[in-house]
Amino acid sequence: MHFEILVEGQVELTTLSILMEQILGEYNNPHTWKIHKHRGIGKLPDNPTMPPNKKDNSLLHNLPSKLRAYGKEGRDNLVVVTLVDLDNRNCIHFKQELIRLLQYCSPKPNALFRIAIEEIEAWFLGDLPALKSAYPNAKQAILDKYTQDAQCCTWEALAEAIYPGGLKALEQYGKRSIKILSQKVEWAKKIAPKMNVENNLSPSFCCFRDGLRNKF
């Protein structure tokens, strides 16, 4: 089976590039995959049948047209995987919105929609042995307060636990700064290689892992 995986940005690309062989086995033995990053999550277009704005490279904006294109390929061995953060949305309603996009596809692709709750940093917090191996000085008191896969400012909790000076030191650069993005990528590079995908406590990670495995 071949998996085309659509993600929001570099953090997700980095994370999955490291974890996919743990999830599916060695590349091309027998499964293959390609991960496509976008410029953020964006929002679904008001009219999913319209061509996307070429200046908008966000994931949701382009998702309807990409699903249609994959459907028209007609490949029996192709699975299109969309991974997005939940952020502050309602999970059930958001998942339904994503699934409804398939009604605009003829033919429909073999699609899998998965949501990281609240965001992909929850997957790192779901494997505390990996996190502590990467960051031995992580603040246990902060980690103990975190409720797995809660909508509770997840990346901020991780920053408070492992970044020198905590969240306040990182937020001085601005909440949407390149510094914060590069730091999130750095966390992915350090934590993901140490993760055990079979023992992760994040329900949304396990749903992602099992969803891929159930496609073959």
Q: How many CB atoms lie within 10 A of CB 54?
A: 7
Task: Give the DSSP H/E element, type plus range, for residue 36.
Answer: strand 32-37
Provide the pLDDT confidence category of residue 176 given band limits of 50, 70 and 90: confident
pLDDT at 117: 97
- The contacts found for 137-141 with CB under 8 angstroms, 24 or more apart, are 137/162, 138/162
Taking the C-alpha atoms of residue 70 and residue 204, their distance in angstroms, rounded to an integer, is: 25
Taking the C-alpha atoms of residue 47 and residue 27, their distance in angstroms, rounded to an integer, is: 37
Provide the pLDDT confidence category of residue 114 given band limits of 50, 70 and 90: very high
pLDDT at 174 exceeding the cut of 80:
no
List the chain domain ranges. Answer: 2-120+200-213, 121-194
Residue 32: strand, helix, or coil: strand
pLDDT at 173 exceeding the cut of 80:
no
Taking the C-alpha atoms of residue 91 and residue 118, their distance in angstroms, rounded to an integer, is: 9
pLDDT at 172 exceeding the cut of 90:
no
Q: CA angle, 165 as apex, 161 and 170 as ends, to 5°? A: 90
pLDDT at 184: 97
pLDDT at 171: 87
Task: Give the DSSP H/E element, type plus range, for residue 98.
Answer: helix 91-100
The residue count for the chain: 216
Taking the C-alpha atoms of residue 59 and residue 42, their distance in angstroms, rounded to an integer, is: 6
pLDDT at 70 exceeding the cut of 90:
yes
pLDDT, tens digit, for every residue of 115-160?
A: 999 999 999 999 999 999 999 999 999 999 999 999 999 999 999 9
Closest CA to 60 of 33, 89, 31: 89
Provide the pLDDT confidence category of residue 17 given band limits of 50, 70 and 90: very high
pTM of the model: 0.96
pLDDT at 206: 98
Taking the C-alpha atoms of residue 170 and residue 40, their distance in angstroms, rounded to an integer, is: 20
Provide the pLDDT confidence category of residue 177 given band limits of 50, 70 and 90: confident
pLDDT at 25: 98
pLDDT at 14: 98
Taking the C-alpha atoms of residue 65 and residue 70, their distance in angstroms, rounded to an integer, is: 9
Distance of CA 207 to the CA centre of its chain: 12
**Structural domain 2-120+200-213, CATH architecture:** 3-Layer(aba) Sandwich (3.40)
